[in-house]
């Protein structure tokens, strides 16, 4: 629903009334035309996967169909046998922009949220590019809401079934937020609501059907999702007849 979250406890609706979080279903905090993700942006994560640190940001895309809200399901794709979580800080764009100087990057940012860059790791490793391993439906949980301002360095943590798996800080980002906004906006126009996911710290690992995964970004909140098997029935929208 539309509204403003106050102190992580209440939702103020457009008509001025307030509701508790338990009374509402939270939607994704933005409606991106694209999610631009940054790979290997923490040296410890690159090392744990046996990869070198890139000399410039390593970019890949997720489509809008990858987005789900907090409390919605992560879908385990039937073509994968190894699903991984990757908790990260996500930047949400607030102004349509292109070729943004790093010194002006903060002016085009609407706010910040948590993201889980869910990855079919076996598929990512087996393909020559990352689309099937990264861009499947429900592979980009976002939430729980949008924080308009956060500290320069914040903790990024992930729990699976209440066990802490990742405990990093954006202080260790190789490419900082301002640099990422400038770099990406030189490649493509960023639209209002687009997301730049800044990368994940060390500690990524396996998810199974039935697991609950929580990504917490300090100053934002907790993004919570359960893992379910992806549906195998056809999804067909019948065309509507026009006169």
Tell me the C-alpha to C-alpha distance, in Å, between residue 215 and each of 57, 156, 227: 23, 7, 14
Which two structure tokens, joined as six digits, stand for 177? 């937020």
Q: Is the dihedral of CA 224, 207, 202, 135 positive or negative?
A: negative
Conformational region of residue 231, where left means phi above 0, alpha means psi within -120 to 50, and beta covers everything else:
beta
Answer for the pair 156, 217: CB distance below 8 angstroms, yes or no.
Answer: yes
For domain 26-229, the question of CATH label 3.90.850.10 is answered with yes
Which two structure tokens, joined as six digits, stand for 104? 């002006």
Q: Could you read off the pLDDT of 136-150 as tens digits, one per residue? A: 999 999 999 999 999
Cut 0.85: pTM above it: yes
For 182, list phi and psi in degrees, rounded to 5: -65, -45
Domain ranges of the chain: 26-229
How many Å is the Cα radius of gyration of the chain? 18
Q: Could you read off the pLDDT of 101-116 as tens digits, one per residue? A: 999 999 999 999 999 9
Per-residue pLDDT, 20: 73
Where the chain has pLDDT below 50, the residues are: 1
């Amino acid at each position: 629903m539309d509204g403003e979250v106050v102190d992580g406890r209440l939702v103020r609706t457009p008509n001025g009334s307030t509701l508790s979080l338990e009374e509402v279903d939270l939607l994704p905090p933005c409606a991106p035309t694209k999610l631009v993700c940054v790979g290997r942006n923490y040296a410890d994560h690159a090392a744990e996967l046996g990869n070198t640190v890139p000399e410039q940001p390593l970019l890949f895309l997720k489509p809008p169909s990858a987005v789900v809200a907090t409390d919605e399901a992560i879908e385990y794709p039937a073509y994968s046998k190894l699903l991984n979580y990757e908790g990260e800080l996500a930047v949400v764009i607030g102004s349509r922009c292109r070729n943004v100087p790093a010194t002006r990057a903060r002016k085009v940012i609407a706010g910040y949220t948590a993201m889980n860059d869910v990855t079919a790791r076996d598929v990512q490793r087996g393909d020559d590019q990352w689309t099937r391993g990264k861009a499947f439906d429900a592979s980009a949980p976002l939430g729980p809401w949008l924080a308009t301002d956060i500290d320069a360095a914040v903790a990024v943590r992930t729990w699976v079934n209440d066990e802490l798996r990742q405990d990093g800080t954006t202080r260790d980002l190789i490419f900082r937020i301002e640099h990422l906004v400038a770099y990406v906006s030189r490649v493509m126009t960023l639209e209002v609501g687009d997301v730049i996911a800044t990368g994940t710290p060390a500690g990524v690992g396996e998810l199974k059907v039935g697991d609950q995964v929580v990504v917490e970004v300090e100053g934002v909140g907790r993004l919570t999702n359960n893992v379910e098997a992806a549906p195998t029935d056809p999804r067909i929208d019948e065309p509507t007849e026009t006169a």
